[in-house]
C-alpha cells in the first residue's frame, strides 16, 4: 500500500504546477464536458449555438502530458494562456484581450531556458532575446510580426555583433548588418514600408510609402479619414459625409502592395488568389483595364462575396452578409502597387458610389506629376 501511495505522489509531482482540474471553467451557455471527453488530446468548452470555443480549452500530447491551457470568449482568445513542452517544461505564458496578445509574454526552450520576452503594444511589440546562459542576445521592435525601428544584436561575450535601423519599414536591406539581423533573429525578415497618410488643403489627401508619395482628390460629398482605420492596417479611409469607417455606409480604403521583384500582373494575380481563398461565394463579375489621368496602368474588378468570420478555434463562420466591391489595382511605381477598394452592403449603394470611386482612382498622382500639371 505504501508503495502505491508513493507512486501516486511521484506522478502528481511530475505534472506541471499549473495543472489543476478546478481551473477548467466554461462560460455561461457552453457545454461542460468531462475530462478529455472530446477526443484523446483535447477538452474544450463549446457554445452549442455557434460551435465556437467558449471557456477553457486544454490540450495534451499523445504521450499524455499537458500541452496547453487556453481560454476563449465566443471564439476569441481571452485571459491568461500557458503552454508546455512535452517534457513538462514551460513553453509560453501570457495574456490575450479580445483575441490579441497583450502585455508581457515569455517563451522558453525545452531545457527550461528563457529565450524571448515580448511586450505586446498596439504601437509595436518590444522584443528581448536571450542566450541559453541568460545573457541578452538582442533587442528591437516589431509591428504585425515584422521588424521595424532600431535593433541591436550582441554575441555571447556581450560585444555588439550588428545594429540596424529598419525605420518604418524598408523596400530593401541597406547593408550587411541589417541582413544579419533580418536573417538570424526571430521573427525572421523585416517590415516592408508602413504607409502613413495626412490631409491637405482643398480636399486632398496624401499617402506616403517610404520615399514615395501619392496625392488623392477626395470625391465631392465624401470625407477622408487618416485615423479610423489604423487598427485594421488602413491608413487612408473614405466614406460619405456623416458616415463612418466600418459603419453602415459605403467605405473606400487604400492599401499598398509591394512588388518584391514581381511585375504588376503577378502582384494582381497573387493578391486576387489570396483574397478569393479567404471568402465564400466569390464571384468576379467584371474586369476592366485602363490608365489614370497620370498614365498609371490600372486594372479594375467588380466582385461579390460572402464574408467569413475567422476565430481562434478550428471553425470559420460564414456570415449572411454579402459584400459588393470594386477593386482598382494601380501600377504606382517600380516598388509599389496601390489597391483601392470600394465596399458596400447593397447593390444600390454600390451603384450610387461607383462614380465617386472612379473619380478617386483617376485622381491619383505623385507630387511631381501634380506640379507638372
Domain segments of the chain as ranges: 15-184, 196-372
Per-residue pLDDT of the chain (373 residues; tens, 9 = 90+): 444 434 333 333 333 434 455 689 999 999 877 766 556 789 999 999 988 999 999 999 989 999 999 999 999 999 999 999 999 999 999 999 999 999 999 999 999 999 999 999 988 999 999 999 999 999 999 998 999 999 999 999 999 999 999 999 999 999 999 999 999 999 999 999 999 999 999 999 999 999 999 999 999 999 999 999 998 889 999 999 999 999 999 999 999 999 999 999 999 999 999 999 888 889 998 889 998 888 899 999 999 998 866 554 444 444 558 899 999 999 999 999 999 999 999 999 999 999 999 999 999 998 777 666 6
CATH of 15-184, one of 3.90.25, 3.90.1010, 3.90.930, 1.10.10: 3.90.930
State the Cα–Cα distance between residues 356 and 348, nearest whole angstrom: 14
What integer pLDDT is reported at residue 320 of this predicted model? 58
pLDDT at 37: 57
Give domain 196-372's CATH architecture.
Answer: 3-Layer(aba) Sandwich (3.40)
- Identify the pLDDT of residue 39: 61
Nearest to 116 by CA among 99, 104, 103: 104
pTM: 0.74
Question: Cα(345)–Cα(353) distance, rounded to whole angstroms?
Answer: 11
Residue with cell 536571450: 130
N-to-C CA span, the chain: 95
Amino acid at each position: 500500500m505504501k508503495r502505491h501511495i508513493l507512486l501516486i505522489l511521484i506522478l502528481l509531482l511530475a505534472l506541471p504546477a499549473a495543472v489543476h482540474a478546478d481551473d477548467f471553467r466554461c462560460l455561461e451557455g457552453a457545454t461542460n464536458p468531462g475530462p478529455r471527453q472530446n477526443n484523446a488530446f483535447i477538452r474544450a468548452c463549446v457554445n452549442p449555438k455557434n460551435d465556437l470555443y467558449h471557456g477553457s480549452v486544454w490540450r495534451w500530447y499523445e504521450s499524455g502530458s499537458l500541452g496547453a491551457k487556453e481560454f476563449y470568449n465566443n471564439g476569441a482568445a481571452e485571459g491568461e494562456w500557458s503552454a508546455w513542452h512535452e517534457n513538462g517544461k514551460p513553453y509560453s505564458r501570457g495574456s490575450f484581450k479580445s483575441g490579441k496578445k497583450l502585455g508581457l509574454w515569455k517563451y522558453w526552450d525545452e531545457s527550461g531556458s528563457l529565450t524571448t520576452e515580448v511586450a505586446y503594444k498596439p504601437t509595436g511589440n518590444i522584443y528581448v532575446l536571450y542566450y541559453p546562459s541568460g545573457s541578452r542576445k538582442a533587442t528591437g521592435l516589431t509591428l504585425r510580426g515584422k521588424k521595424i525601428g532600431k535593433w541591436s544584436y550582441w554575441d555571447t561575450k556581450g560585444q555588439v555583433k550588428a545594429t540596424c535601423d529598419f525605420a518604418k519599414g524598408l523596400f530593401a536591406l541597406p547593408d550587411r548588418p541589417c541582413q544579419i539581423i533580418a536573417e538570424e533573429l526571430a521573427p525572421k525578415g523585416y517590415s516592408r514600408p508602413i504607409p502613413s497618410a495626412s490631409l491637405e488643403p482643398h480636399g486632398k489627401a496624401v499617402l506616403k510609402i517610404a520615399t514615395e508619395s501619392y496625392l488623392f482628390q477626395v470625391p465631392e460629398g465624401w470625407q477622408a479619414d487618416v485615423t479610423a482605420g489604423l487598427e485594421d492596417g488602413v491608413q487612408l479611409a473614405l466614406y460619405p459625409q456623416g458616415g463612418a469607417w466600418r459603419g453602415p455606409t459605403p467605405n473606400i480604403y487604400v492599401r499598398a502592395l509591394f512588388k518584391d521583384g514581381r511585375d504588376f500582373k503577378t502582384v494582381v494575380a497573387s493578391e486576387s488568389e489570396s483574397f478569393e481563398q479567404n471568402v465564400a461565394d466569390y464571384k468576379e463579375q467584371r474586369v476592366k483595364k485602363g490608365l489614370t489621368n497620370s498614365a498609371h496602368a490600372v486594372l479594375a474588378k467588380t466582385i461579390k462575396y460572402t464574408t467569413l468570420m475567422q476565430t481562434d478555434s478550428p471553425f470559420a463562420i460564414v456570415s449572411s452578409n454579402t459584400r459588393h466591391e470594386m477593386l482598382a489595382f494601380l501600377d504606382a511605381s517600380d516598388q509599389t502597387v496601390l489597391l483601392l477598394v470600394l465596399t458596400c452592403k447593397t447593390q444600390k449603394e454600390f451603384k450610387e458610389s461607383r462614380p465617386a470611386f472612379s473619380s478617386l482612382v483617376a485622381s491619383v498622382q505623385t507630387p511631381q506629376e501634380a506640379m507638372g500639371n
